[in-house]
Amino acid sequence: MPEPAEREALEVEGTVRELLPNALYRVELVSEERPSVTAHVAGGTSPTRLRPGDGVVVAITPFDAGRGRIVRRR
Amino acid sequence: MSLQKSWGELETMARAARLVIDTLDILEEASVPGTTTLELDRIAREAIEKAGARPAFLGYRGFPGTLCSSVNEEIVHGIPGSRKLREGDIIGLDLGCILGGFFGDSARTVGVGRVSDDASQLMNVTREALHAGIEQCCPDKRVGDIGHAVQTHAESHGYTVVREFVGHGIGTNLHEEPQVPNYGPPGRRERLVPGMCLAIEPMVNVGGPEVEVLADGWTAVTRDRRLSAHFEYAVAVTKHGPWILSEPYPYGQLEAEAVNA
């Protein structure tokens, strides 16, 4: 009897488009149905500085397609 | 979670696996036009209880049957009921038992009477995909290698594999770690070690891979309502390679004791 699959976060590539308040970023996604997500940077309070135009990899939870977590630069 | 089983535990696993296969043989015989899936469920329960085992699925997360019977566009988890089998149907028979504290779990899809060439091709390819996955069950391979082999074989025939449901570790629980997806890149996920037992179970669709679960909360069907097939074996990883637990230990009795060393 098969088991329901655990839903995993999906990693997609994108580009930072806009700096938002609260250390959030608007990230434009490459090749996704959804054009952009609101994303925060992974890694707690580390003062990562991203600027518009920076390439990043975003993990998107299956529970909310509009939110992302920036896991690394690319 | 105990991933590795001792030789003695594997022998008990093998007895449970064999009981499931023997019962599936009876059910395959009984899958003729006019039989209801509820009758198959009753046959399955009687055979398992007569052998001194218990049904594994009955009551599992609330599942109401001993057998999962999934006809045509039903992928898995079909609930046995008054549905009568018709000539040309294909039916997925998925069965589990508990024997001596260990779980057996296996599945196959069979034709009712004569089936179309398309249907028998689907069943053949799904069975082959299962064996392609089993071949990967060697020490130091990875769980991702299994899924990759299954997916590659199924898709090379133009079919798709289901993502929403996955195979699983098996032992003193029906579902143990790790999950065993039927897709994905090779070389990823958990490393295989001798003594690990995995239930590998490709679900292969003629049309798209999308799944829909019906209002009963269990029955999973293809969203496009096209045919789907499902085969499953419980397999142990040994230092010599895969052992399909329902078959005799394939690497000779001498080494048997050292399987886990």
How many Å separate Cα B9 from the centre of its chain? 20
In the beta sheet, which residues pair with residue A59?
A: A11, A69
The residue-averaged pLDDT of B48-63 equals 97
A4, part of any domain: no
Q: Please tell me if residue A7 touches chain B, with a CB cutoff of 8 Å.
A: no
B37, part of any domain: yes
Number of independent structural domains in chain B: 1
Return the structure tokens found at B74.
């039903």
- pLDDT value for A31: 65
Alpha helices by DSSP H, B86-171: 117-134, 143-156
- pLDDT value for B256: 58
Tens-place pLDDT, residues B169-211 = 999 999 999 999 999 999 999 999 999 999 999 999 999 999 9
The residue-averaged pLDDT of B47-74 equals 97
**Statement: residue B80 has pLDDT above 90:** yes
B100, part of any domain: yes
pTM (2 d.p.): 0.82
Return the structure tokens found at B135.
């071949």
Residues 6+ apart with CB under 8 A from B247: none
**pLDDT, chain A, mean:** 84
The CATH number for A25's domain is: 2.40.50.140
- pLDDT value for B259: 55
In this structure, the number of other CB atoms found within 10 A of the CB of residue A18 comes to: 12
The residue-averaged pLDDT of B133-148 equals 97
Number of independent structural domains in chain A: 1
Q: Name residues of chain A where pLDDT drops below 70.
A: 31-33, 44-48
**Range with the poorest average pLDDT among B2-6, B138-142, B244-248:** B2-6
A36, part of any domain: yes
Percent of chain B with pLDDT over 90: 93
How many Å separate Cα B69 from the centre of its chain? 12
Q: Which residues of B touch A (CB under 8 A)?
A: 56-57, 60, 63, 68, 76-77, 94, 96, 105, 107, 163-168, 174-175, 179, 181, 201, 203, 230, 232
Residues of B in contact with A2 (CB under 8 A): 76-77, 165-168, 201, 203, 230, 232
Per the CB < 8 Å rule, is B105 touching A1?
yes
Distance CA B6, CA A62 (A): 38
The CATH number for B203's domain is: 3.90.230.10
- pLDDT value for B255: 60
- pLDDT value for A36: 86
Distance to chain B for A62, nearest Cα, Å: 13
B261, part of any domain: no
A35, part of any domain: yes
Return the closest-CA partner of residue A50 out of A22, A12, A19: A19
**pLDDT, chain B, mean:** 94
Percent of chain B with pLDDT over 70: 96
Residues of B in contact with A3 (CB under 8 A): 165-168, 175, 179
Per the CB < 8 Å rule, is B165 touching A6?
no
**Statement: residue B261 has pLDDT above 50:** no
Domain of residue A35: give its range: 10-73
A29, part of any domain: yes
Banded model confidence at residue B99, pLDDT cuts 50, 70, 90:
very high
B174, part of any domain: yes
Do residues B44 and B84 make contact, with C-beta atoms less than 8 angstroms apart?
A: no
How many Å separate Cα B179 from the centre of its chain? 13
Considering just the CA atoms, what is the radius of gyration of chain B in Å?
A: 17
Per the CB < 8 Å rule, is B165 touching A4?
yes
Per the CB < 8 Å rule, is A5 touching B56?
no
A1, part of any domain: no
B1, part of any domain: no
pLDDT greater at residue B252 or residue B124: B124
- pLDDT value for A47: 63
- pLDDT value for B1: 43
Domain of residue B230: give its range: 7-256
B202, part of any domain: yes
| Residue among B57, B77, B166 whose CB faces A5 most closely | B166
